[in-house]
Amino acid sequence: MIEFKHVFKKYTNDIEAASDFSIKIDQGEFVYVVGPSGAGKSTFIKMMYREEKPTSGQIKINEFELDKIKGHEIPYLRRELGIVFQDFKLLPKMTVFENVAYALQVIEKQPTEIQQRVKRVLDLVGLADKADAFPNQLSGGEQQRIAIARAIANQPGIVIADEPTGNLDPDTAGGIMDILEEINQQGTTVVMATHNSGIVNQRKHRVIEIEDGHIIRDQRKGGFSKNE
Ligand code: ADP
Ligand code: ADP
């Protein structure tokens, strides 16, 4: 569950990127966050994983009340979140296997469990045969699939994706969407910021539209713009 109550975010340069955001996202929902560049989409998403702190208001992520969370608790919050970025952010000197396993080693999983989990998520994204490759040997779409595998290896209840198809051609983007929708069908909440109108209009889900730091639309099975 993700809940924002009267959340405001003003950056030090006085730009208000979030003005009175109040929304609730239930477990298992699929939500697109849309709006023009500079609208506040990334800020909204970054506040969910505590990359940015609100200026005021309350954010609740599962059992975590972010205004009360202590520094040492942030890693526990992030274990409940899988995060996917537009630019993949894979570690270039590690193999695919190591990139995915790394997230599990950090949380001290046993080696046999790590092996099993990495295999399972690489199977899910269709790249079990690339386990020994390095990121620069993979296409952009493949790298993003690995990044998704890494994000879900720890079985988070929530996956947050900021423009996950932003660097990909339409066919490849479709493959990424298939995976995100599959994860969602298994009960994971997916929150995805996107500029991709084709995807939003073809694969209908809840749409939260942000403009100039305001939530101007929150629509069940909405289109990329209001009347689509
Ligand atoms: P979007 O993801 O929709 O493009 P952002 O959330 O990145 O929008 O940005 C919203 C507004 O906040 C923009 O005007 C942007 O320039 C500003 N902004 C974002 N991050 C910072 C920052 N760290 N410091 C100052 N202003 C920022
Ligand atoms: P796309 O058409 O999706 O951009 P590419 O043309 O980049 O894909 O890659 C096609 C295939 O070739 C992929 O399976 C990828 O893993 C492989 N590949 C791409 N670059 C390299 C490389 N430098 N070394 C080994 N395999 C590569």
Q: What is the DSSP string of 55-68?
A: SEEEEEETTEETTT
Ligand 2 centroid to Cα of residue 138, in Å, is: 5
Mean of all residue pLDDT scores within the chain: 95
Beta strands 2-10 and 56-61 are antiparallel
**H or E element that contains 170:** helix 170-185
Ligand 1 centroid to Cα of residue 42, in Å, is: 7
Ligand 1 centroid to Cα of residue 39, in Å, is: 7
Q: Is 204 within a domain?
A: yes
Rounded to whole angstroms, what are the CA distances from 58 to 6, 47, 69, 153, 216?
7, 10, 11, 29, 20
Beta bridge partners of 30: 190
- Is the CB of 222 within 6 Å of ligand 1? no
Q: Is 27 within a domain?
A: yes
User: Domain holding 162: CATH number?
Assistant: 3.40.50.300
Please check the confidence at residue 173 and state whether its pLDDT lies above 90.
Answer: yes
Which ligand is closest in space to the CA of residue 214? 1
How many whole angstroms separate alpha carbon 207 and alpha carbon 217? 7
pTM of the model: 0.88
| Structural domain total, the chain | 1
Q: Centre a 10 Å sphere on the Cβ of residue 225 and count the other Cβ atoms it contains.
A: 13
Contact between 80 and 62 under an 8 Å Cβ cutoff? The reply is yes
pLDDT score of 158: 98
Q: Centre a 10 Å sphere on the Cβ of residue 223 and count the other Cβ atoms it contains.
A: 18
* Residue count (the chain): 228
pLDDT range class, residue 98, cuts 50, 70, 90: very high
Which ligand is closest in space to the CA of residue 166? 1
195-209: pLDDT as tens digits:
999 999 999 999 999
pLDDT score of 100: 96
How many whole angstroms separate alpha carbon 95 and alpha carbon 77? 27
Contact between 164 and 140 under an 8 Å Cβ cutoff? The reply is no
pLDDT range class, residue 106, cuts 50, 70, 90: confident
Q: Is 227 within a domain?
A: no
Q: Is 228 within a domain?
A: no
- Is the CB of 41 within 6 Å of ligand 1? yes
18-59: pLDDT as tens digits:
999 999 999 999 999 999 999 999 999 999 999 999 999 999
Which ligand is closest in space to the CA of residue 18? 1
Please check the confidence at residue 15 and state whether its pLDDT lies above 90.
Answer: yes
pLDDT score of 227: 83
Q: Is 51 within a domain?
A: yes
- Is the CB of 223 within 6 Å of ligand 2? no
Q: Is 119 within a domain?
A: yes
Nearest alpha carbon, ligand 2 atom 7: 139
Q: Is 175 within a domain?
A: yes
Collect all residues with Cβ–Cβ distance below 8 Å to 64 and sequence separation of at least 6: 73, 76, 77, 80
Ligand 1 centroid to Cα of residue 10, in Å, is: 10
Burial class (CB in 10 A: 0-12, 13-18, 19+), 12: exposed
Cα Rg of the chain, angstroms: 17
Helices 111-124 & 140-152, crossing angle to 10 degrees? 130
How many whole angstroms separate alpha carbon 7 and alpha carbon 69? 16
Domain assignment of residue 200, given as a range: 2-222
Average pLDDT over residues 70-97: 95
What number is the ipTM of this complex? 0.76
Please check the confidence at residue 120 and state whether its pLDDT lies above 80.
Answer: yes
Q: Is 92 within a domain?
A: yes
